């Protein structure tokens, strides 16, 4: 059937009303002669044009996306003609299709549910050659907590029957939100889940046997250079923060200890010496034994750690005599004990040190590299620019792969 150059308005009669917006299904868009001509051209292409994927073969025409702009490749005449023919329908809002994927599926082969990615104008058009297939549509995986587990089966929404020589145009929700795929089957039993049954001249209950299908998927690829300007990949627009070990990122753990006021400052060094001898604070080398009492207008300027609560006898009301052996520490200058909390482990980062010091004076052997990394200053502008370039290259490679229908691994 001939389709003169027309605008999208004229396509309205081909809208599939039983599907979400927007599907146009045009049966017999090309003639049988055109179909065999296109098949010949596909199979005449050099062997190197084919990429073997799991479950199908692929040819890529028109260029590959690249961070510095699409690596454009001249479209061969036989494809150029059909790109023009489809673009003249107005499917790409006045733009011309500049990229074609040719997929070949033997009976029993298919393509996993996927999205085509953001590199394209939000329209995809497909001419089918040689055999029908069922194109299935799925709701995207939602990440709401508490949702029931989402299987391919319960995300399945509808199918479209695409017959040989037909043209399918997908836009809007159908293309941008839903995933599409083809089950690897040799036969399709048609049900009322096929939204375009009557337009495709079929009826529920029918079973169709698949042969080898070749599809030509025409799209418009947006120029790459536009996409990177001011994007999240500018070296200035992101900060690298370190992923720290559990010990480095955990909160400060505290243990209880008895402290006592030093009521006579002159006794401090003797008390320290004697306490260290009879009550060493094992494992708490990072904790300072004496602290100045802040803003001390009070009765005593200093306090000293006597021992850990876990090392003391289990008494309800504790006096200094209960905590210390009868000999070894002269009680002169020491007040009655009280309980304080001290950090159980040496701080490893400046934030841990600042928190720990709020409880009791603590020493800190700073790892300068960790502190600089925590400030987000580990990498200078040159290294960040290089990382941005690597990230951009990885993203482009992933998007190119996705556009070619490859599946992510890992």
Ligand X SMILES: O=C(O)CCC(=O)C(=O)O
Sites of contact with Fe ion (CB under 5 A): 116
Minimum distance, C-beta of residue 179 to ligand X, in the bound complex (Å): 10
Nearer residue to ligand X within complex by CB, 164 or 405: 405
State the minimum distance, in angstroms, from the CB of residue 387 to ligand X.
Answer: 30
Interface with ligand X by CB under 6 A: which residues? 101, 103, 111, 116, 126, 135, 180, 215, 217, 405
* Integer Cα distance of 57 and 381 in angstroms: 43
- Of these partners, Fe ion, ligand X, none, which one is at the site of residue 215 (CB under 5 to 8 Å by kind)? ligand X
Q: Is 139 or 235 the residue whose CB approaches ligand X more closely?
A: 139
Rounded to the nearest whole angstrom, what is the least distance from the CB of residue 376 to ligand X in the complex? Answer: 39
Given a contact cutoff of 8 angstroms between Cβ atoms, the answer to whether 320 and 336 are in contact is: yes
- Which has the closest alpha carbon to 112: 37, 33, 51, 56? 56
- Residue 338 vs residues 257, 260, 385: alpha-carbon distances, Å: 8, 6, 56
Angle between helices 77-87 and 32-44 (to 10 degrees): 140
If contact means CB under 5 to 8 A according to the sort of partner, which of Fe ion, ligand X, none does residue 103 touch? ligand X
The nearer residue to Fe ion, 233 or 404, going by C-beta atoms, is: 404
Cis peptide leading into residue 326 (ω within 30°): no
Q: How far is the CB of 137 from Fe ion (least distance, A)?
A: 11
Taking the C-alpha atoms of residue 70 and residue 66, their distance in angstroms, rounded to an integer, is: 5
Min CB(8)–Fe ion separation in Å: 22
Instruction: Please give the residue whose beta carbon sits closest to ligand X in the complex.
Output: 215
With vertex at residue 377, the alpha carbon angle to CA 374 and CA 378, rounded to the nearest 5 degrees, is 85
The contacts of residue 393 (CB under 8 Å, 6+ apart) are 67
Residue appearing with tokens 């929700």: 173
d(CA 278, CA 305): 12
> Would you say 163 or 345 has its CB closer to ligand X?
163
- Please state, in angstroms and rounded to a whole number, the distance separating the CA atoms of residues 56 and 184: 10
Task: Give the residue with the Cβ less far from ligand X, 116 or 188.
Answer: 116
Nearer to ligand X, 111 or 306 (CB): 111
Residue 275 interacts, among Fe ion, ligand X, none and using kind-specific CB cut-offs from 5 to 8 Å, with none
C-beta closer to ligand X: residue 125 or 349:
125
Is 169 strand, coil or helix? strand
Picked from ligand X, Fe ion, none, the partner binding residue 126 (CB below 5 to 8 A depending on kind) is ligand X
Q: Are 99 and 120 in contact (CB under 8 A)?
A: yes
Q: How far is the CB of 72 from ligand X (least distance, A)?
A: 20
For residue 380, the minimal CB distance to ligand X (Å) is 41
Residue least distant from Fe ion (Cβ): 116
Tell me the C-alpha distance between 221 and 403, whole Å: 10
């Amino acid at each position: 059937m001939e389709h003169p150059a027309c605008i999208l308005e004229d396509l309205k009669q081909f809208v599939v009303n039983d599907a979400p917006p927007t599907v146009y299904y045009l049966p017999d868009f090309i003639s049988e002669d055109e179909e065999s001509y296109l098949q010949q051209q596909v199979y005449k292409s050099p062997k190197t044009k084919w990429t073997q994927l799991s479950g199908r073969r692929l040819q890529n025409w028109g260029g590959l996306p690249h961070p510095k702009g699409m690596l454009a490749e001249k479209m061969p005449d036989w494809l150029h003609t059909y790109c023009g023919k489809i673009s003249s329908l107005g499917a790409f809002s006045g733009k011309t299709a500049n990229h074609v994927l040719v997929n070949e599926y033997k009976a029993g082969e298919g393509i996993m549910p996927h999205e085509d990615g953001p590199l394209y104008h939000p329209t995809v058009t497909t001419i089918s050659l040689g055999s029908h297939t069922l194109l299935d549509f799925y709701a995207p995986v939602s990440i709401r907590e508490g949702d029931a587990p989402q299987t391919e089966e319960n995300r399945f929404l509808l199918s479209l029957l695409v017959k040989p020589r037909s043209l399918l145009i997908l836009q809007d929700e159908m293309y941008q939100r839903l995933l599409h795929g083809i089950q690897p089957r040799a036969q399709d039993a048609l049900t009322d889940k096929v939204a375009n049954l009557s337009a495709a001249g079929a009826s529920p209950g029918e079973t169709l046997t698949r042969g080898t299908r070749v599809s030509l998927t025409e799209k418009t690829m947006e120029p790459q250079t536009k996409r990177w300007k001011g994007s999240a990949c500018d070296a200035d627009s992101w900060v690298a923060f370190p992923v720290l070990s559990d010990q480095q990122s955990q909160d400060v753990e505290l243990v209880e200890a008895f402290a006592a006021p030093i009521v006579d400052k002159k006794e401090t060094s003797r008390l320290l010496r004697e306490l260290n001898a009879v009550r060493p604070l094992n494992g708490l080398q990072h904790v300072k034994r004496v602290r100045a009492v802040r803003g001390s207008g009070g009765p005593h300027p200093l306090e000293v750690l006597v021992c850990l609560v876990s090392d003391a006898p289990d008494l309800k009301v504790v006096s200094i005599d209960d905590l210390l052996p009868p000999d070894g520490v002269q009680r002169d200058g020491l007040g009655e004990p009280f309980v304080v909390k001290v950090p159980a482990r040496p701080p490893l980062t400046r934030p841990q040190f600042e928190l720990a010091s709020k409880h009791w004076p603590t020493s800190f052997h700073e790892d300068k590299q960790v502190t600089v990394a925590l400030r987000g200053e580990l990498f200078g502008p040159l290294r960040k620019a290089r990382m941005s370039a690597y990230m951009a290259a990885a993203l482009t490679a992933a998007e190119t792969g996705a556009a070619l229908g490859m599946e992510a691994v890992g």
